[in-house]
Each structure stands twice: as structure tokens, then as C-alpha cells.
């Protein structure tokens, strides 16, 4: 795990045998731009209320958007030679079914500290 505020928080929870509390607070966005706008608004809203969030940014900049050619090249070089575990036809089907429509169901996770 990399060293950042969110990961340190998660490690501290695990060390106390606690789990993070994750709640669905909004859903139904079809366009990525609407999703990003909602994420920015909600992070700002909860911060204004004094909720102790551990989001690393103000939102709207998620990593699921288009990749640059430089990113693709670097990622390709990094992945070369790495073996993937064998997957059965059933496993591939389940992975496919599990991912259908996920991008439009809910906004990106807003992490909230628990006591």
C-alpha cells in the first residue's frame, strides 16, 4: 500500500480490527461530466459540514477517463512479462457480468472517517 493519508487511515482501522464505513449517497448518473460535477459538489459539501474526509483531491479528476498516449506506453512497459492467472470461461463470464453498467451507477467513493 502506498503512503498517503487515505491508506494510512485504512491501515489504522485494520490495526484496530475496524472496517471503513462506506455509504452510497447518490446514484443514477449517465454522463461522466455529471458524475464528476456531483463528486466535486459532494466533497465540498461534506467538508463544509466538517465531515473528516480522507479524499486526496477535491474530486472530479477520477482515473477512469481517457488515458494519454504517454500513460499507455508506460503502463504497457510496466506490464510486459507479467503473467496473468489462468481464468476459466465461467470466471471470465462472471467478471464481465459483474462490471456491466458500473460506471453509471454511482458517484466515486467519498471516503469518510469513522470513529
* Nearest-angstrom CA–CA distance, 113 and 115: 7
pLDDT at position 107: 45
pTM score of the predicted model: 0.50
Q: What tens digit of pLDDT does each residue of 6-31 get?
A: 888 888 888 999 888 777 777 777 77
Give the containing element (helix H, strand E) for 109.
none
In this predicted structure, the answer to whether residue 111 has a pLDDT above a threshold of 80 is: no
Domain ranges of the chain: 1-82+105-115
Task: Quickly list DSSP for 33-63.
Answer: HHHHHHHHHHHHHHHHTT--B--SSSSS--T
Using alpha carbons, list the distances in angstroms from residue 8 to 5, 22, 54, 92, 115. 5, 17, 10, 33, 15
Amino acid at each position: 500500500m502506498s503512503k498517503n493519508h487515505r491508506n494510512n487511515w485504512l491501515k489504522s482501522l485494520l490495526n484496530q480490527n475496524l472496517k471503513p464505513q462506506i455509504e452510497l449517497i447518490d446514484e443514477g448518473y449517465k454522463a461522466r461530466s455529471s458524475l464528476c460535477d456531483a463528486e466535486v459538489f459532494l466533497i465540498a459539501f461534506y467538508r463544509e459540514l466538517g465531515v473528516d474526509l480522507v479524499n486526496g483531491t477535491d474530486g472530479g479528476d477520477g482515473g477512469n477517463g481517457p488515458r494519454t498516449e504517454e500513460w499507455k506506453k508506460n503502463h504497457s512497459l510496466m506490464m510486459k512479462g507479467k503473467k496473468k492467472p489462468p481464468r476459466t470461461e465461467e470466471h471470465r463470464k462472471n467478471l464481465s457480468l459483474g462490471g456491466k453498467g458500473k460506471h453509471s451507477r454511482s458517484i466515486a467513493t467519498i471516503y469518510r472517517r469513522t470513529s
